[in-house]
């Protein structure tokens, strides 16, 4: 009976010890589960934080892309506006160039017409001057020296830039010489020589000036002038005549 009680006690103790062991295991497992749960919760929190961060970054990138696209649209719009403006300016410039070409062509036509008119006018003017000179020469050849002088003077005063003006001044002197107005002829020859040192009548004017001095019995003046003629016009026909007279 006693043995039986001890057996029962032993079994009970064993059960107690066994129950305590199971309880400890359960607590350990519970702790492990809690640790795992905490780890899972922590990972879940980290994941949510990461997702939130990624969402914010994605949102920020989306905003950046939107801003870039908006800026590009603005830039493209501005570029398109500038291109349109350039095209408009180019078209306007081409229109202006066309007008300038038209104006230039019109101006060229007017200029050509004016040049033709001026040329005809100059030809007419030259013909008129030559006609006046020929009339004065006709009077000179006919012995109408005073009339010839007036004609040569009119030509010279009206057309001083004409080549016939030089001729007219010389023939005024010739008219006075032919009239035997030697003093007046002397002044006229001297005026011609001073004004036209390269004139076509320079050498003959020196020769005739010497003759004017001779007619006035101014031998020294004659010798001085003819000496100058010998120096400046050694090959002129008048010098050949003068040399023969001097001999």
Q: What share of the chain is helix, strand, coil (3-state, %, to 5)?
A: 90, 0, 10
Phi, psi of 180 (to 5 degrees): 70, 20
Digit-coded pLDDT (tens) for 57-105: 777 787 777 777 777 777 777 777 787 887 778 778 778 877 777 776 6
In the block, tokens 């005024």 appear at 172
Q: In whole angstroms, what is the distance from residue 129 CA to residue 65 CA?
A: 91
Q: In whole angstroms, what is the distance from residue 14 CA to residue 5 CA?
A: 14
Could you tell me if 144 and 167 are in contact, meaning their C-beta atoms sit under 8 angstroms apart? no
Q: What is the pTM of this model?
A: 0.52
Task: Categorize the per-residue pLDDT at 163 as very low, low, confident or very high, splitting at 50, 70 and 90.
Answer: confident
pLDDT at 170 exceeding the cut of 90: yes
Task: Categorize the per-residue pLDDT at 132 as very low, low, confident or very high, splitting at 50, 70 and 90.
Answer: very high
Residue 24 CB neighbours (<10 A):
10
Question: What is the chain's mean pLDDT, rounded?
Answer: 81
Could you tell me if 132 and 167 are in contact, meaning their C-beta atoms sit under 8 angstroms apart? no
Digit-coded pLDDT (tens) for 17-72: 455 556 777 777 788 778 888 888 888 888 788 787 877 777 778 777 777 777 77
> What does the H/E/C string look like for 162-189?
CHHHHHHHHHHHHHHHHCCCHHHHHHHH
User: For domain 182-247, is the CATH number 1.25.40.10?
Assistant: yes
Q: State the pLDDT at residue 67.
A: 78
Q: In whole angstroms, what is the distance from residue 143 CA to residue 108 CA?
A: 52
Q: In whole angstroms, what is the distance from residue 114 CA to residue 120 CA?
A: 10
Q: State the pLDDT at residue 242.
A: 77
Could you tell me if 212 and 189 are in contact, meaning their C-beta atoms sit under 8 angstroms apart? yes
Number of DSSP helices (H) and strands (E) in the chain, helices first: 7, 0
């Amino acid at each position: 009976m006693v043995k039986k009680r001890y057996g029962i006690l032993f079994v009970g103790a064993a059960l107690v010890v066994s129950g305590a062991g199971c309880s400890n295991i359960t607590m350990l497992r519970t702790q492990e589960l809690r640790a795992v749960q905490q780890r899972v919760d922590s990972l879940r929190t980290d994941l949510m934080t990461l997702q939130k961060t990624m969402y914010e970054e994605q949102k920020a990138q989306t905003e950046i892309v939107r801003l870039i696209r908006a800026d590009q649209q603005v830039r493209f719009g501005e570029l398109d506006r500038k291109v349109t403006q350039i095209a408009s300016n180019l078209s306007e410039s081409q229109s202006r160039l066309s007008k300038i070409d038209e104006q230039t062509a019109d101006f060229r036509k007017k200029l050509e017409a004016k040049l033709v008119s001026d040329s005809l006018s100059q030809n007419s003017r030259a013909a008129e001057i030559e006609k006046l000179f020929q009339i004065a020469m006709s009077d000179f050849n006919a012995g109408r020296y005073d009339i010839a002088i007036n004609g040569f003077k009119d030509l010279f005063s009206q057309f001083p830039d004409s080549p016939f003006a030089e001729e007219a001044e010389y023939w005024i002197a010739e008219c006075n010489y032919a009239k035997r107005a030697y003093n007046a002829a002397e002044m006229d020859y001297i005026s011609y020589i001073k004004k036209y040192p390269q004139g076509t009548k320079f050498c003959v004017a020196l020769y005739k000036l010497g003759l004017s001095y001779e007619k006035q019995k101014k031998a020294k003046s004659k010798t001085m002038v003819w000496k100058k003629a010998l120096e400046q016009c050694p090959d002129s026909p008048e010098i050949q005549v003068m040399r023969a007279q001097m001999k």
